[in-house]
Amino acid sequence: MSQPTMNGNKAPHVPMKNLVGFLLSLILTFAALGLGLAHVMSFGMVMFIILILAVLQIVVQLYFFMHFTESDGPRYHIIGLAIAVFFVICIIGGSIWAMTFNSQAL
Amino acid sequence: MSTAIHKSSHGSVHESPKYKGKVLPLEYTSHEGPLNILGFWIFLATDLILFGCLFATYFVLRTHVDGGVTDKELFDNITSFTAETVILLTSSFTSSLAIFAMRNNNKKRLIGWLIVTVILGLSFVGLELREFIEYYHEGYTMSRSAFLSGFFTLVGTHGCHVSLGIIWMISIITQIARYGIDAINARKTFIISLYWHFLDIVWVFIFSVVYLTGVVS
């Protein structure tokens, strides 16, 4: 009989999942930093890749650290977050899009 | 062998509830636990919209420097903001280790990792304050240009969140020290860890969108 733990399932002694998550988050951060310092691509291209790296970073945090898939029933929290992400994309994308008509400097 | 018996310090001994054949963690065992956690996810969703608005404002005002300092000139100290990023990423990791310890019912380690997280959080806030004070002395205040207003509002709001999180986490450490790991404390600890990871996610975007954009442009 294995020892009962807080999550009732057999828990590993080494927090492998957490270590992998930490390593991935560091790699993603330094990849973004290295790309920013390298000055090898155009501004738009660099920003695009850096944003993709940031989105991957979110996935790492949600999956490896925040136990995103856990729930005691239907996963309503995922619906809530999805709506928020949709709003945020509309707000940020919409603001930038609308303001480019009004500003020479942007 | 999939039923574990928990004795909660609030009285009852009960069999762990299950969902889809898996035993649920302690924070899901009380009636309110899962509801509180769902509620907190929804709070995070609304907080995300708050930060989204601040990011949109920053993006739009980024180039409006009114002849003053630009983002490229302001963020020339790469070590400073990279250190802040690594510290916050590490604190996110240590708070996940705290949850790992909690689910192994290891009170000592749980408190230990939470204390490490608080210390990392304090050093993050300290570094950020030092950065702000440095800017202030150079005359880069919030009222200097639209760009600086956007910058201080966005990064300052995040800093306030982290400071609040530190106070919150210290109060939870005292409660765990006093009452141990029960269903109520497990739920509280799980929620503060969600909050802490969320702040890390927001910071990753500040790092990318504010600081790195300044370096690249």
Residue in B23, B46, B85 closest to A8 by CB: B23
For residue A16, how many other CB atoms are within 10 A of its CB? 10
Whether residue B63 lies inside any domain: the answer is yes
> Which CATH number does the domain housing residue B51 bear?
1.20.120.80
Residues 6+ apart with CB under 8 A from B212: A32, A33, A36, A50
Express each pLDDT in A26-83 by its tens digit.
999 999 888 888 877 888 888 889 889 999 998 898 888 888 777 777 788 889 999 9
Residue B36 lies in a domain: no
Q: Pick from A33-37, B44-48, B58-62 the range whose average pLDDT is largest.
A: B44-48
Contacts of A103 in chain B (CB under 8 A): 60, 63-64
Cα B60 vs. chain centroid, distance in angstroms?
26
Cβ contact B23–A43 (<8 Å): no
Judge whether B114 lies within some domain.
yes
In a domain, B12, yes or no: no
Interface predicted TM-score (ipTM): 0.82
What domain count does chain B have?
1
Q: DSSP letters of A64-103?
A: IIS-TT--SSS-HHHHHHHHHHHHHHHHHHHHHHHHTTT-
Residue B5 is assigned to a structural domain of this protein: no
In a domain, B173, yes or no: yes
* Chain A residues touching residue B34 (CB < 8 angstroms): 71-73
β-strand partners of B6: B14
> What's the rounded Cα separation, in Å, for the pair B201 and B48?
10
Structure tokens at A86: 């949709």
Q: CB-based contact (8 Å) between B128 and chain A? A: no
B43 touches chain A (CB under 8 A): no
Asked if B38 lies within 8 A of A77 by C-beta distance, the reply is yes
Rounded CA-CA distance B29/A21 in Å is 27
Residues 6+ apart with CB under 8 A from B163: B125
Contacts of residue B181 in chain A, CB cutoff 8 Å? 6
Backbone phi and psi for residue B106, each to the nearest 5 degrees, phi listed first: -110, 95
CB B120 within 8 A of CB B136: no
Average pLDDT over residues B79-107: 91
Residue appearing with tokens 């510290």: B87
Closest-CA residue to A29 (of B82, B217, B80, B72): B82
Q: Is the model more confident about B7 or about A103?
A: A103
The reply to whether residue A88 touches residue B213, judged by beta carbons under 8 angstroms, is no
* A-B Cβ pairs (cutoff 8 Å, strict): 171
Reading the block at residue B160, the tokens are 């306030």
How confident is the model over B160-186, as a mean pLDDT? 93
Q: Is residue B6 part of a domain?
A: no
Per-residue confidence at B161, pLDDT binned at 50, 70, 90? very high
How many other C-beta atoms can be found within 10 angstroms of the C-beta atom of residue B52? 21
Q: Which of A68-72, B32-36, B205-209 has the highest mean pLDDT?
A: B205-209
Q: Is residue B15 part of a domain?
A: no
Is B193's Cβ below 8 Å from some Cβ in A?
A: yes
Q: Which range marks the domain in which residue B101 is found?
A: 41-216
Q: Is B141 on the interface with A (CB under 8 A)?
A: no
User: Is 80 exceeded by the pLDDT of residue B14?
Assistant: no
- pLDDT at position B82, please? 92
The verdict on a CB contact (< 8 Å) between A8 and B41 is: no
CB contact under 8 Å between B24 and A8, yes or no, is yes
pLDDT at B58 over 90: yes
